[in-house]
Amino acid sequence: MKGKRPFDFWIFISVLMLLSIGLIMLFSASYPSAYSYHKGNAYYFVERQILFAIVGVIGMLIISRIDYHKLGKISPILFVASLVLLVLVRIPGIGTKLNGAYRWIFIGPLSFQPSELLKISMILFFSYSLSKRKDDLKYFFKGLFPYLILIGLFSGLLLIEPHLSCTVLVVIVATIILFCAGAKIKHFVLLGMPAIGAFIVAITTMEHARKRLTTFLHPMEDKQGDSWQIIQSLYAIGSGKLFGKGLGKGMQKHLYLPEPYNDFIFAVIAEELGFIGVVAILMLFFVFIWRGIKVAINTPDVFGSLVAIGLTSLIGMQVVINVAVVTSSIPATGIALPFFSSGGTSLTFMLCSIGILLNISKQANYERI
């Protein structure tokens, strides 16, 4: 009966396993930096992450009991609120500049990234709106064009932070939702050239993006400068070999690899757990993505299906981009590895989004085993 089925066990258990392994690896990757930069407190990063993980898991379980259709009704409010916060983050006295970017709003000792709210609110709003007018998508100006305007709006707000990596991620997820909702391939093909042109302009006009592209193309020309991080990352990955050096025994995290507890934590995983450990973790992500797609395919309504594919794509694309960056397969970006990288806002919102996916899975028609 609708609403009486259990949520998807494989999604739930894969998330809990990834979260548990993530906390262990975060401590291993972060304790040298935490001890050196936070008054000898080797537990600084993992303590904060555990607190946010507890809040996130509680939020996940609560949201998993809330009918996702109710979230659809408030999605326009959430989407507008996220856009307003993206504007506020650039206002002096409200937003805070860190590492050359305005991405954070501080509330006392806690920090909040509006871009994290945007990721989820965009998925909910686009899915809800498209479920009401999916037949219009076959027409460019009547159906697709309004969503392109919205994509351009939040992309512009993200770029002025600047937050190029998040812009790319959210645009990709929005495009996946539009495609799954029925947008025509020829429209995407026609939009491809202007989109590529806009991306090239962004790369060439944003100094930090241009440096990252140059570093990617010529990493050995500035080994002591901009290329330092990616070279240390590759050293870590290569030295891990098949079975790794052992948990806690990695060397690059000892102030060689900058911020090993953040975007480049995958390099520490590869060094300490080796190829076997990396494959095991990626297989857990694969299980999550497989079950997320299964939920999307078997959900009885368009809204739930689009939300499920959007949330699954959001986490899946973050994994793909993060691993590609750490292995120097693409230029460096600021995409975190889900459930592993340090970041309270990101982890809490991510776990709450899993709660939405779990609720959708309750109403999907498929075998749970």
- Condensed to tens digits (0 to 9), the pLDDT of residues 10-53 reads 999 999 999 999 999 999 999 999 999 888 899 999 999 999 99
C-alpha R_g of the chain: 21
pTM of the predicted structure, to 2 decimals: 0.90
Going from N- to C-terminal start, the domains of the chain cover 9-362
Q: Any idea what DSSP says for residue 137?
A: G
Residue at 60: amino acid letter:
M
d(CA 217, CA 330): 9
Candidates 65, 76, 127; CA nearest to 301 is 127
- What φ, ψ does residue 184 adopt, rounded to 5°? -75, 140
- Condensed to tens digits (0 to 9), the pLDDT of residues 307-356 reads 999 999 999 999 999 999 999 888 877 789 999 999 888 999 999 999 99
Q: Are 327 and 231 in contact (CB under 8 A)?
A: no
d(CA 263, CA 103): 16
What pLDDT, on a 0 to 100 scale, did the predictor assign at position 1?
Answer: 41
Place of tokens 């309004």: 146
CB-neighbour burial class of residue 185 (10 A; exposed 0-12, middle 13-18, buried 19+) = exposed
- Condensed to tens digits (0 to 9), the pLDDT of residues 251-262 reads 999 988 888 999
Q: What is the mean pLDDT of each run of 10 residues along the chain (369 residues)?
A: 74 97 96 90 94 96 95 96 92 77 76 89 96 81 88 90 86 94 80 71 66 65 71 92 93 89 94 96 97 94 96 97 90 87 92 97 79
What pLDDT, on a 0 to 100 scale, did the predictor assign at position 3?
Answer: 45
